[in-house]
Structures are given as C-alpha cells and as structure tokens.
Structure 1
Amino acid sequence: MPIYRGGRHEHGQNFLTDPSIIATMTRLVAATDGPIIEIGPGDGALTTPLAQLGPPVTAVEIDTRLAQRLAERLPSHVEVVADDFLDYRLPTSAHVLVGNLPFHQTTAMLRRILHAPAWTDAIVLVQWEVARRRAGVGGATMMTAQWAPWFTFTLHSRVPARAFTPRPGVDGGILTIHRREHPLLPPARRRQFHALVHRVYTGPGRGLAQILARNTSLGSPQAAQAWLTRQGVNAAGLPKDLPVEAWVDLFKTTGSSPPPHRTQSSSGRRRR
C-alpha cells in the first residue's frame, strides 16, 4: 500500500514511499499484459504510475477514507473499490495482480491469490524472508512445493524498511508469481498433489529415502533410494530439496494415497 502518512495500524498500513522501488514494481507490471488489479493502493503512490501504463486499473482498498480520496483524483480508467481484498471477487478473465501486501496478512493474501482463477502474473511486495522462502531460496517451503506445478516464483529485489512510512520492523522483498501457460499437472489433480506434498513434508523419517519409504507407496528405503537416484537427489536430503519435476514424477509414480498399513512382523513389531 503506497504513501499515505495517516496509515491506520489496524490495516497494517506501511506505505511504500521510495520512488525507485515504485518504479521497479511499475516496470515489472509493464512487462505483463492485461487489466491490472492493485491490492491496497493506499494513497495511490503506485496507482498513479500504473494508470499511466494504459490498461484499465482496479484499485481495491480496505480503508474507505483512502478509497474516497483516490476516487476523487485518479483518471476515469481507474476504478476504486472500497473492499477487503480477501473478500473481493476477482474476475474470471485474464488480469494482473500487483500490490504491497500488509505484512500481517501476507500468508492469507498469498493463499487467496494462489487459489484465484484467471490472473496471469502477480507482482507483490512482502516481507523479505517470506519472499525468499516462497521463491525457494535455501529450499522450497511446503506452500511453494504444493503450487509449483502451476506457478513459478521469482525473487527480484530486497526492499529496505526505510522505503516504507511508517517504517516496519523488517525489510521487504519483491516477489513475482507467474501462472504457467502449460501446467505440469492438470488443475483437477491439485488437491491430490497438495495432499502428497503435505504428507511428505509433515511425515516421519530422517532423510528423503526414509521419509518417502514411510509416507508414500514407494514402500521401502531401497525403492525410495532408487527413485531418488534417478531424480539426481541426495537420499539424505529433505523435502525442501526436491525440485518441482521430481515432485511431479513422485505424484505420477505413487499417486496421492497414503501407503498401505504394514502387516505385523513375525517378531510382533509393526514394520516401519
């Protein structure tokens, strides 16, 4: 949410005031196609240059005071909507999302974005560590791995805390999310794929070979080791180390169902 020095604490309003960061986000949006929906425009520091790009702009602002101020001074091809983005009904036709997300609402807003249809690109400013994790720096988070067959995540630049007013306690980062034109799995398989990733990330085991043996139908550490070798992945690694292509192959190989219950061994102990 761009510059407005009277930001309200309950809305998490840390407005972007750095012209170079605003210019960077504008350039990233300019490289996309389609109508623009801005999340939390605040007082319009980013909305104004977005309006100059040409496509129609819809600015969704939760603060009714700011929404009224914006509507009075922006050009006619910019529509200002006083609404909470988490409740706002996004269009079913292609569009581009852009915004400085309230830091305390980042996860909820990212989930809302990822579940929404039709948009092609999202250029968002979030906390630096969130941007790094979502882009897979140091390994993918569960959320990123769950959505990677349908989206790519790219970390662009760090945004210092001094670029905001009021100044937050952490730096920000610009993250872009692009919807794959050719998804690696059909959208109808999304829930099943999410279930597989969740089970692998949260299931018991030390190292991928053991984790996959215990939580997928690969069935044994030997079979898991063989699969990991074919993928070029270290058996002692962790789920965050699996590339998206490996996740897709794992899903196609094992499906999303949990492994069958093991029978009791002759010693009376359940096999692990």
Structure 2
Amino acid sequence: MPTYRGGRHEHGQNYLTDRPTIAAFTRLVADSTGPIIEIGPGRGALTRELHRLHRPLTAVEIDPRSVAVLGDALPGIRVVHADFLDWRLPGTPHVIAGNVPFHLTTAILRKLLHAPGWSRAVLLVQWEVARRRAAVGGASMMTAQWWPWFEFGVDRRVHRSALRPAPSVDGGILVMDRRAQPLIDDRDRAAYREFVHRVFTGPGRGIAAIAAAATSLPRREAARRVARIGIAPDRLPKDLSAEQWVALFGATHRG
C-alpha cells in the first residue's frame, strides 16, 4: 500500500494528522444522527474514526491515489471518486464532515447552504473563515443571509501544525446546524437574502440610515421602525444577531 508524506498540491490537500483535533471532530459528528458524507478524506485519518461510529459512511475523494488507498484500508465504506463540488448530494437526511481545501472553502459552503437533506456540517476551514461564519467579532454577509435557516458555531482553533503539509494559516472547526424551525418562512428566502445584500452593501452611517437607503422608507420612518424593534440606530450590519436581522426584515417590509 503506498503512503504519502503530504497532500497533492494540485488538489490543495493538507492532511489532518493531529489526534486531539480528529477526536474533537469525531465527537461533533457523533452528536448527530444519520448517514455521514465526508468531503475529501485523503489518507483516511478522520475516515477511520468516523467509520467507528457504525453509521453509513460515504467518502467523496478527487484524488485517485487516495481512492485506491481508502478502498483497500476501509472495507465497508462507500468511496466515491469525484470532485465534491460536482457531486450531487442526496436529498435524504445526512451529516457532512470534512477537512476542506482552504482555497475551495467559499465554493463548498455555498454548495452546502443551498443543498437540502443535511442536518449538521462539521468542517475544518481557515480560522478567519470559521470566525466570520460564526459571527465572532462580527457576522459576514453570507452568515446573515443564511442565519434564519442555519446556526453557525466555531468549536476550536486548529494550529497549522495539525496539518501536513502545514498551510500558511491556522484552521478552525466550523459547525453548521440546520434549524428545525426556520426564523423566516422559506417563501421569503429570496427577498430576505436580497435585503441583507442591500443592507451590507448600501450607503449610510448606522443601521437606521442604511436600512432607509436599502428600502423605500423615508429616513425618519426607517429610524422609527429600527428603534421600535430595539436596535440602536448606530449599529452596523455586522453587529446584528440572527434575531435582529429577522426583526429588521419584518419591520422594514411591513406597510
């Protein structure tokens, strides 16, 4: 059986080798139910631990060398030779896990957020991405756009030395959970996401002025509605919580 000292450069592979990180990853997946789909298993260090959960496990791997290794080393799992971005996720309930190539993080997150079926995703991503998605120090536009349907959290920071070869930045374990009860009706998803985009990219100082510019409301009326839902007028879009975004959307879209 061949062995590899590090991941292949063309696939952006940085293999996870740190045992405490793998244990934490496995614990977060174990705290869920349903079949598991692993993104980019590589040499299978995490795959072996997920296999011990005794749940159906599908490993989606782009590197044919790793596919051959996994098929020989872990009989009983389903190994799919495919680019995860092109592979069709099932519509039935499942859980996502994976050490995500850092340069593909945004593309993979967008795929997952638009996909049905999965209830939890546990992903190793760049530390700054994990912080932003979990709204540590301020939410990103992507987080705000999807907050009514998903909860985002960061479990821990992962030092770059936990990966081989070591990347130039640290990673973080991002946990995304689909809300059992969305905060906004699915029929309003497109309108809400467009609203968040306009607010994040619109002019103005403070959320009241920005909300007025993003809607057809006069500035004074927008300020009155923002105050009525208990949001300080000088708050910035990145400072709002999921519940405040939902309240702002409702307040500025009522007659």
Q: Which interval holds the TM-score relative to the shorter structure? A: over 0.9
**AA of the residue aligned to 1:237:** R
Partner of 1:138: 137
Cα deviation for residue 68 of structure 1 reads 1.4
- Give 5+ residue unaligned stretches, structure 2: none
Q: CA deviation at 1:97?
A: 0.1
Alignment of 1:217-232 (within 5 A): 217-220=216-219, 222-232=220-230
Aligned to 1:71: 71
Contact kept? 1:12, 1:103, Cα under 8 Å: yes
* 1:128 equivalent in structure 2: 127
Q: Deviations over 1:31-80 (max 9, x none)?
A: 1000000000001000001001011100000111111110112131x100
Q: 2:142, 2:81 → 1: CA distance?
A: 29
Number of aligned positions between the proteins: 252
Q: Is the 8 A contact 1:196 1:255 kept in 2?
A: no
Deviates more, 1:236-245 or 1:43-52: 236-245
Distance apart, 1:139 and its partner CA:
1.3
| 1:228-249 alpha-carbon deviations (Å, 9 max, x no partner) | 2233322112111122222222
Match for 2:241: what amino acid?
P
Contact 2:100 2:125 in 1 (8 A): yes
TM-score by length of 1: 0.89
Equivalents in 1 of 2:90, 2:165: separation in Å?
32
State how 1:18-167 maps to structure 2 within 5 Å.
18-76=18-76, 78-167=77-166
- How many Å separate the matches in 2 of 1:71 and 1:255? 54
Distance 1:4 1:150 in 2: 40
2:29 corresponds to which letter in structure 1? V
- Give the match for residue 269 of structure 1: none
AA matched with 1:71: G
Inter-partner Cα distance in structure 2 for 1:53 and 1:215: 48
1:121–1:178 contact (8 Å) kept in structure 2: yes
Cα distance in 2 for residues equivalent to 1:188 and 1:227: 23
Q: Secondary structure of 1:46's partner?
A: helix
Deviation at 1:191, TM superposition (A): 1.3
Q: CA RMSD in A?
A: 1.5
TM-score, normalising length: structure 2: 0.95
Q: Within 2, Cα distance between the matches of 1:174 and 1:32?
A: 16
Q: CA contact under 8 A between 2:14 and 2:163: conserved in structure 1?
A: yes
Name the stretch that deviates more: 237-246 or 102-111. 237-246
Q: Structure 1 residue aligned with 2:238, among 237, 240, 247?
A: 240
Bigger Rg, which one: 1
Structure 1, unaligned stretches of length 5 or more? 257-272
Q: Name the % identity.
A: 58
